[in-house]
Amino acid sequence: MKIKKGDSVIVITGKDKGKKGKVTRALPKEGRVVISGVNVKKVHHRRKSKNEKSQILERAYPIDVSNVAIVDPELKVPSRVGKKNTDKGFVRVSKKSGKEI
């Protein structure tokens, strides 16, 4: 999986198409990512004690990694990811501008 935690991404398909956000969690075994502000659902939270209140929380759920693309750091458009060998080892590179991610 070429997308990691902290990357800036844009949703390219689905109900949230066009939304941008940062990856807060990557789930490589399932091939999914959690993005802040994308695929948000309401969760009913029941109180645990008499002092607490029940509430409705908004929670971001994972979406498939194939539905998102990394935002190019220079051009600010969706881009694919490649690898480049440098002195430090392999680094991720944007296919559109050639800049490191």
Q: Where are the domains of the chain?
A: 8-94
Average pLDDT, the chain: 95
* pTM summary value: 0.86
Q: How sure is the predictor about 25, in pLDDT bands with cuts at 50, 70 and 90?
A: very high
Mean pLDDT computed over 28-35:
97
Please tell me the predicted confidence (pLDDT) of residue 46: 94
Give the whole-number percent of the chain exceeding pLDDT 70.
100
SS3 state of residue 65? helix
Mean pLDDT computed over 77-94:
93
> Hey, what CATH topology would domain 8-94 get?
SH3 type barrels. (2.30.30)
Burial of 10 per CB tally in 10 Å (0-12, 13-18, 19+): buried
